[in-house]
Structure 1
Amino acid sequence: MAKDEKAKAKAEQGKGKVKETAGRAVGNEEMTAKGRTEQAKGDLRQAKEKAKDAFKR
């Protein structure tokens, strides 16, 4: 299960980065902001999983 969540976090971060970059390329501020938000969600998910791992040990 943890590997699933970690993979989701990485995918979310990557998808957010793509959206942010595309938004900047076309000058779309809304898309850029959505990309940053997705990246932040991925970062939070990843931090949560790292915290879980730390408590397991």
Structure 2
Amino acid sequence: MQRWDYRVEETDRGLHNGQLRNLGADGWELVSEVVLVDGRGDRTVRSVLKRPRD
């Protein structure tokens, strides 16, 4: 049965192409992104990634 490692990255604008390329080279796959807005209007992008566990 396949097992997965998960990673969560939080940024104010989301992951840029360079970050995604570097994470992909390490075996990470972007699963989803969610934009969170707090009561003050500040925005956070939460990116969830996974990769096969060795």
Tell me the TM-score normalised to structure 1 length: 0.24
Tell me the TM-score normalised to structure 2 length: 0.24
Structure with the greater alpha carbon radius of gyration: 1
Question: Greater helix share, 1 or 2?
Answer: 1
Question: Greater strand share, 1 or 2?
Answer: 2
